Amino acid sequence: MNFLLGIIYLSFISLGLPDALLGSAWPKMYLEFQVPVSYAGAISMIIALGTILSSLLSDRLTRKFGTGAVTATSVGITAFALWGFSISHSFWMLCIWAIPYGLGAGSVDASLNNYVALHYASKHMSWLHCMWGVGATLGPYIMGAALTGGASWNTGYRIISVMQVVLTAIIVFSLPKWKGRNVSAEEHIGSKPLSLKEILAIPGAKAIMICFFCYCAVEQTTMLWASSYLNLAKGVAAQTAASFAGMFCIGITIGRGINGFIAMKLKDSQMIRMGQAIIFLGIVVMMLPFGDVFSLLGFSLIGLGCAPVYPCIIHSTPEHFGAERSQALIGVQMASAYVGTCLMPPLFGLMANHISIHLLPVYLLILLAVMVWMHELLNKTVSGKE
């Protein structure tokens, strides 16, 4: 059990490793490819579309092959795609390699999250997502070290690719351990997967999908626009704004480490409500007409508030919908999450461009309100007592 849990922790670090690579390397990449800086969005969209598709297929794949096999294959596909990035020297090649990258990322994310939700306590879900934050922090550090050492951005991708190959080999070696578990979606291998229509007909399914959509919209919109908001709305210098915006990610990572201990005492629904309350407090602090310190505090609080929401929504899914349907529900939740990250940050960008970037706190507040509404509706629908 401890051996398998260690491998799952490594897997979550590996999930985070490539996530911020494109952003950290793009200032070098777009100059080499001689394309507009905005073209990074096209690559992100291709990755996201592949991730949405594979998330929706995760239930079917996991029922047929099992979590261990899906995880090993998905990480292997991601490693292959990252190696493809490392040998690319044109923009169109990146677009092609982005397809397997997205397909690999979605399946492993949904399948691993469901496996942990079924087998381990809520504290592990928080700590595992904290490990994702560690990976997301290490990725740009590795890329930065490669560039600082005089290597090209291709080398940074190659290093991460090799790390993923090693992890794939470890997971393949551990496959008997995955199959040895006796209460899981593995019991349902060979059973009929649920169609999207059947999933949407389940009471509470639409509410959890919208809730997750709004959460990821809050997280990604804040991550993308924090620096610009601080610079343009609060008058913070660009260099300082970039550092302040980083406090949001630090808040999430540290928060998930702390939440693992809090989860030993509180239920998932209580953890989610606590997180939503802290996000609200952070947004209010953002709106106060004070200086840099309050802006820093506001974004840090939003990060801390975001920390328990994602892992606790995932962890509560088997309890709300049953172990036999949890993989299907987590698959559509992950798909909803990626749709939120695709649509809502660019939508605010249009609002900032055509109306005002000062609207960021209001935009986040509306998304938070819908998230809270859907979470309470879910609890009322599935339990009537939460």
Say whether 263 sits in a helix, a strand or coil: coil
- φ, ψ of residue 210 to 5 degrees: the values are -70, -40
Same domain, 222 and 271: yes
Last residue of a domain, one of 124, 147, 177: 177
- Within the chain, residue ranges assigned H as helices are 2-16, 21-33, 40-65, 67-86, 91-119, 122-148, 153-173, 175-179, 196-200, 205-232, 238-262, 268-287, 292-321, 323-354, 360-382
Instruction: Name the residue among 109, 105, 106, 88 with its Cα closest to residue 97.
Output: 88
**Domain of residue 294, CATH code:** 1.20.1250.20
Residue in this structure with the two tokens 């343009």, named with its chain if needed: 232
CB 279 within 8 A of CB 306: yes
pLDDT at 138: 83
Residue 187 lies in a domain: no
CB 330 within 8 A of CB 110: yes
Same domain, 207 and 65: no
* Alpha carbons 156 and 158: distance in angstroms, whole number: 5
Same domain, 318 and 361: yes
Same domain, 252 and 320: yes
For the chain, how long is the longest CA-to-CA vector?
60
* Alpha carbons 234 and 236: distance in angstroms, whole number: 6
DSSP 32: H
Residue 284 lies in a domain: yes
57 falls in which pLDDT band (50, 70, 90)?
A: confident
Same domain, 351 and 277: yes
Last residue of a domain, one of 177, 211, 238: 177
CB 70 within 8 A of CB 331: no
**Which phi-psi region, left, alpha or beta, contains residue 193 (left: φ > 0; alpha: ψ -120 to 50)?**
beta
Same domain, 83 and 209: no
> How many CB atoms neighbour CB 371 within 10 A?
25
Q: What is the mean pLDDT of the chain?
A: 85
* Alpha carbons 107 and 98: distance in angstroms, whole number: 15
* Alpha carbons 68 and 118: distance in angstroms, whole number: 14
Residue 188 lies in a domain: no
Residue 190 lies in a domain: no
325 falls in which pLDDT band (50, 70, 90)?
A: confident
Instruction: Flag whether pLDDT at 185 surpasses 50.
Output: no
Residue 183 lies in a domain: no
Same domain, 55 and 98: yes
Residue 74, domain extent: 2-177
Same domain, 120 and 219: no
From the CA atom positions of the chain, what is the Rg in Å? Answer: 20
Last residue of a domain, one of 143, 177, 211: 177
Q: Token pair of 318, please?
A: 């088997």
Flag the least confident range among 165-169, 294-298, 300-304. 294-298
Instruction: Name the residue among 54, 2, 21 with its Cα closest to residue 161.
Output: 21
How many distinct structural domains can be found in the chain? Answer: 2
Same domain, 31 and 109: yes
* Alpha carbons 202 and 96: distance in angstroms, whole number: 37
* Alpha carbons 100 and 52: distance in angstroms, whole number: 12
CB 316 within 8 A of CB 269: yes
What would the pLDDT profile of 85-122 be if each residue is shown by its tens digit?
A: 999 999 999 999 999 999 988 877 788 888 888 888 88
Residue 338 lies in a domain: yes
Same domain, 275 and 321: yes
What would the pLDDT profile of 261-288 be if each residue is shown by its tens digit?
A: 998 888 889 999 999 999 999 999 988 8
CB 291 within 8 A of CB 343: no
183 falls in which pLDDT band (50, 70, 90)?
A: very low
28 falls in which pLDDT band (50, 70, 90)?
A: confident
Average pLDDT score over residue span 139-145 = 85
What CA dihedral angle connects 202, 181, 257 and 323, to 10 degrees?
10
Say whether 241 sits in a helix, a strand or coil: helix
Same domain, 19 and 157: yes
Same domain, 342 and 237: yes
* Alpha carbons 156 and 143: distance in angstroms, whole number: 5
Residue 192 lies in a domain: no
CB 97 within 8 A of CB 88: yes
Q: Token pair of 314, please?
A: 């995932």
> Amino acid identity of 371?
M
348 falls in which pLDDT band (50, 70, 90)?
A: confident
Distance from chain centroid for Cα 284: 25
> How many CB atoms neighbour CB 323 within 10 A?
17
